[in-house]
């Protein structure tokens, strides 16, 4: 496909759609292909991996532990759940990964209630120049 594109037998859109790639990914792959051609390494060239999901699958004991920790009442924090996974399962996950997992598995924390702000903030005075003064020294 890349050789046909190089020989101008195919258009960009056609070649990218046949390979199932986006236009940007196709051009990155094509640049690697041209570099291999320039260095006479075309016979050993293989396409590089895309930036897709290459993370390992989580072990089943991690899923069970996260269900237990995040399904409790009140649920554990995402940071605590991540540290428990490392401590008990010897598997490293980030707090954000735990949060995404919780959202996917309907175990995300509920959003906190929206608190109304007070109409007058503390220490705010009605007239400019007014002073709050408090004697708190232990000296008489």
64 and 99 fall within a common domain:
yes
- Residue 29 zone, left/alpha/beta (φ > 0; ψ -120 to 50; rest): alpha
- At 48-58, the pLDDT tens digits run 777 666 778 89
Domain count, the chain: 2
Q: Which token pair is 10? A: 């195919």
Mean pLDDT of 8-13: 90
In a domain, 82, yes or no: yes
pLDDT(73) > 90:
no
Mean pLDDT of 82-89: 95
Q: Which token pair is 13? A: 């859109």
CB 107 within 8 A of CB 71: yes
- Residue with more model confidence, 57 or 131: 57
In a domain, 20, yes or no: yes
In a domain, 134, yes or no: no
In a domain, 118, yes or no: no
Domain span holding position 23: 2-38
63 SS3 class: helix
């Amino acid at each position: 496909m890349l050789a046909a594109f190089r020989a101008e037998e195919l258009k960009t859109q056609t070649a990218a759609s046949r390979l199932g790639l986006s236009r940007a990914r196709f051009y990155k792959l094509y640049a690697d292909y041209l570099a291999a051609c320039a260095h006479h390494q075309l016979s050993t060239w293989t396409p590089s991996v895309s930036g897709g999901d290459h993370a390992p699958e989580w072990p089943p004991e991690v899923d069970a532990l996260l269900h237990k920790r995040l399904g409790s009442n009140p649920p554990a924090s995402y940071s605590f759940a991540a540290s428990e996974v490392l401590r008990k399962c010897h598997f490293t996950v980030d707090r954000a990964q735990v949060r995404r997992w919780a959202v996917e598995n309907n175990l995300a924390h509920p959003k906190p209630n929206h608190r109304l702000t007070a109409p007058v903030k503390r220490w705010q005075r009605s007239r400019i120049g007014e002073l709050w003064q408090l004697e708190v020294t232990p000296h008489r």
